[in-house]
Amino acid sequence: MQSKAKTIDEYLSELDDSRRESISIVRNVILENLPDGYEEMMLFGMITYAIPLSIFPDTYNKQPLMYAALASQKRHMALYLTNVYGDGSLETWFRERYKATGKRLDMGKSCVRFRKLEDLPLELVGETIAKTPIDEFLEIYKASRTGTRRD
């Protein structure tokens, strides 16, 4: 369920009240913890936090490099954490910390799915977002392009 919204306000206005409130709360946690240089934008039909092309134009798809994203899907909401996906030690840390919260982790490669806000440990989300400054994320990205995943 990809949105055609051009702005974040437009995206949020498409959501029902419950989803809008949940997405807005997670969005605020992300914004409060987002390292310098990343920008919030609409990309790929989601609220996205990315490295703008003005900082790093050499991406595989000529789009800003996505760091994290937030979306409302048909049956769930999703938080995409590409820093966790690209860094094996960070993924291990994240999974262990998530388990310690007592909440059930429903995660794909980078996608953490949640049906209601209470399913998502917001403090951990903030910590995870804050963990990877742009220069470190670019190292992860470049390693992925050469086939050398960080562990």
Which pLDDT value is given to residue 142?
Answer: 86
**CATH number of the domain where residue 119 is located:** 3.90.1150.200
Which pLDDT value is given to residue 149?
Answer: 52
Domain count, the chain: 1
Q: Where are the alpha helices (DSSP H) in the chain?
A: 8-14, 17-33, 82-86, 88-100, 122-130, 134-145
Percent of the chain residues past pLDDT 70, beyond the cut: 96
Mean pLDDT of 25-29: 98
Mean pLDDT of 2-9: 89
**pLDDT for residue 26 is more than 90:** yes
Mean pLDDT of 40-64: 95
The reply to whether 148 falls in a domain is: no
Percent of the chain residues past pLDDT 90, beyond the cut: 81
Mean pLDDT of 60-64: 92
CA distances to 9, 29, 35, 76, 92 from 55, in Å? 25, 24, 14, 33, 29
Which two three-digit tokens encode residue 61?
Answer: 């798809």
Residues 6+ apart with CB under 8 A from 57: none
Least Cα distance to 72 among 148, 146, 1 occurs for 1
The reply to whether 132 falls in a domain is: yes
Residue type, 61: N
Per-residue pLDDT tens over the stretch 85-131: 988 899 999 999 999 999 999 999 889 999 999 999 999 999 999 99
The parent domain of residue 83 ranges over 8-143
Which two three-digit tokens encode residue 29?
Answer: 């946690």
**pLDDT for residue 148 is more than 70:** no
Distance CA 26, CA 56 (A): 26
The reply to whether 100 falls in a domain is: yes
The reply to whether 64 falls in a domain is: yes
The reply to whether 106 falls in a domain is: yes
The reply to whether 149 falls in a domain is: no
Which pLDDT value is given to residue 147?
Answer: 66
The reply to whether 53 falls in a domain is: yes
The reply to whether 136 falls in a domain is: yes
Which two three-digit tokens encode residue 141?
Answer: 């990205």
Mean pLDDT of 60-70: 95
Q: Where are the alpha helices (DSSP H) in 15-133?
A: 17-33, 82-86, 88-100, 122-130
Which pLDDT value is given to residue 145?
Answer: 78
Least Cα distance to 19 among 53, 54, 70 occurs for 70
Average pLDDT of the residues of the chain: 93
